[in-house]
Structure 1
């Protein structure tokens, strides 16, 4: 998964500006990769993350998508 795919996924599951999704992971490296992608999207101003919960087989993400620049 890359940054563009993650952002598309978040836009598809969003309701208005809010999103809530679980991204499946297979390894600890996947978990770190997802966290890094989310940090990059936040630093670029595309999303505002409210919650990131590490679960056994997925990473739960909850936040706001910023639509100012598509």
Structure 2
């Protein structure tokens, strides 16, 4: 997975412009990478994160999808 795949997953999980998704992870490093990609998307202005929580086996992301052409 990379940053653009994460954006595609978030678009599919969104209802209107709000998304809430729990993405399974294999290792703790996977969770950190997902957080970094989400932060990168936020800096680029494509999403606005409200919550990013690392759980034992997943990463929970909740936020707003900003206008981003497909």
- How would you bin the TM-score normalised by the shorter chain? over 0.9
CA deviation after TM superposition for structure 1 residue 41, in Å:
0.1
CA deviation after TM superposition for structure 1 residue 64, in Å:
0.2
CA deviation after TM superposition for structure 1 residue 3, in Å:
0.7
TM-score by length of 1: 0.95
Which residues of structure 1 form unaligned runs of 5+? Answer: none
Secondary structure of the 1:56 match is coil
- Partners of 1:19 and 1:7 lie apart in 2 by 11
Structure 1 consecutive aligned stretches of length 4 or more whose deviation exceeds 3 Å: none
How many residues are matched?
69
User: What CA RMSD, in Å, does the superposition of the two structures yield over aligned residues?
Assistant: 0.7
Which residues of structure 2 form unaligned runs of 5+? Answer: none
